[in-house]
Structure 1
């Protein structure tokens, strides 16, 4: 199931960013997915789905933000 909501984006913002509305929304979804992954609120699979990417693509996208998918605990 998908939920559709309407958001309003001032045209001047899109013009300043040189993006279409669809490009802006796609970027918002990816940015939200990265944040939710960093905050451990969603899994890789859920974030990939939110970002409308495959898991492999999303992992590569995370690396562009220096976000790793492995966490190490140095406590011994």
Structure 2
């Protein structure tokens, strides 16, 4: 696994009412949602990035008002292959 280090002002954490670990998790989820919404990743990859099970990721998509049905034919083939 790759580790990414970022420098952020301490005020970021207090503004979001999150400690650094919660903030990092929220960033992973937000990135996964956005990349999925843009069609850059599949649901499986989004769940992996977010650190969630796929069903949990679908719930998060719904909460963010992002359709879980945004899938290309290629992504569908990949997801069906992953299911085997």
Normalised to the residue count of structure 2, the TM-score between the two structures is 0.78
Larger RCO (CA within 8 A; separation ≥ 6): 2
Higher helix proportion (structure 1 or 2): 2
Pairwise CA RMSD:
1.0
What count of residue pairs does the alignment treat as equivalent? Answer: 70
Measured in 2, the distance between the counterparts of 1:28 and 1:16 equals 14
Normalised to the residue count of structure 1, the TM-score between the two structures is 0.86
Partner of 1:4: 3
Measured in 2, the distance between the counterparts of 1:12 and 1:65 equals 25
Kindly report structure 1 stretches of 4+ aligned residues shifted beyond 6 Å.
Answer: none
Measured in 2, the distance between the counterparts of 1:48 and 1:41 equals 13
| Structure 1 residue runs without a partner (length 5+) | 72-76
